[in-house]
Amino acid sequence: MTAETGFAKPGPRIALIHALEESVVPARTACRAHWPEARIFDLLDTSLAVDLAEAGGLDEAMMKRFRTLADYAAGTMGAGGRTAGILFTCSAFAPAIDAVKPHLPIPVLRPNESAFEAALATGDRIGIVVSFGPSADSLRAELLAMAAAAGRRIEVTVAVADGALAALKHGNGEEHDARVAGTAEQLRGCDVVVLGQFSMARAQSRLQPLLSVPVLTTPGAAVEALRRLTAPAGIA
């Protein structure tokens, strides 16, 4: 567990929980931009993404692993006091994250819910771009469930940027961004597009000029939402 240091003033202790190491930098960048006084700590378990891809779906053992990670993060105390909120950055695990929420007295956020709320406020034809294939069905289901809860009927288009994540893992950010931009044709007719992984935020500047509708990223929206949710406790 590592800490972000050098803030202008002390802030609340916030835990970021990652399943992909590529999510760490965009999450921290968003925190510095939108909540610089927060004390940010990271938990990273890259086996989660590997195990999900091999298993083809969430099982009870993996659900328990998320509960263990969340309990550990919520139970820590140190710089910034006791943990005031948790942001999961792993978009393929929404059911496991939702299962954690009722058991903790602090705000816990899925990585995409804030960006999805913004997308729902924009239109009914929503595109999602993913670079981690196993997250496609999960994100579609998550967005449709949010729409149904709001009494909305929407059309969801999911585009997989094949090879983008592998390129990023090999240090080729340009190829990653180009592969994300290559999904543009699949997104014609959407009212709004969401880049579904934290690690994809960097590609917004490549995809946005190719589309005439907003392209939303998830890290900034998530950090802003967590800041608002912790405000009643006098934290934000």
Token pair in block for residue 43: 């938990």
Pick from 79, 143, 139, 81: which is nearest to 106 by CA?
A: 81
Lowest-pLDDT range of 35-39, 91-95, 123-127, 193-197: 91-95
Kindly indicate the confidence band of residue 63, based on its pLDDT and cuts at 50, 70 and 90: very high
Q: Is residue 236 within 8 Å of 227, Cβ to Cβ?
A: yes
When pLDDT is averaged across residues 23-37 and rounded to a whole number, the result is 94
40-57 pLDDT tens trace? 999 999 999 999 989 888
- Please name every residue paired with 86 in a beta bridge, in sequence order, or none if there are none: 15, 108
CA torsion sign, 48 to 54 to 56 to 60?
A: negative
Pick the CATH number of 13-111+220-233 from 3.30.460.80, 3.40.50.1860, 1.20.910.10, 1.20.1090.10: 3.40.50.1860
* Degrees to nearest 5, angle at CA 75 with 69 and 81: 130
Looking at residue 57, what is its pLDDT?
84
pLDDT tens track for 120-151: 999 999 999 999 988 899 899 999 999 999 99
Task: Determine the pLDDT at residue 234.
Answer: 44
User: CB-side exposure of 154: number of CA atoms within 13 Å?
Assistant: 31
Do 13-111+220-233 and 113-217 have matching folds?
A: yes
* pTM for the whole structure: 0.83
Confidence of residue 24 (pLDDT cuts 50, 70, 90): very high
| Residues 40 and 28: beta-carbon distance below 8 Å | yes
Fold of 113-217: Rossmann fold (3.40.50)
pLDDT at residue 232, rounded to an integer: 56
- Say how many C-beta atoms besides its own lie within 10 A of residue 131's C-beta: 27
pLDDT digits (tens, 9 = 90+) for 92-102: 898 999 999 99
How confident is the model at residue 216, as a pLDDT? 95
Q: Where are the domains of the chain?
A: 13-111+220-233, 113-217
**Which residue carries 């929407």 as its tokens?**
154
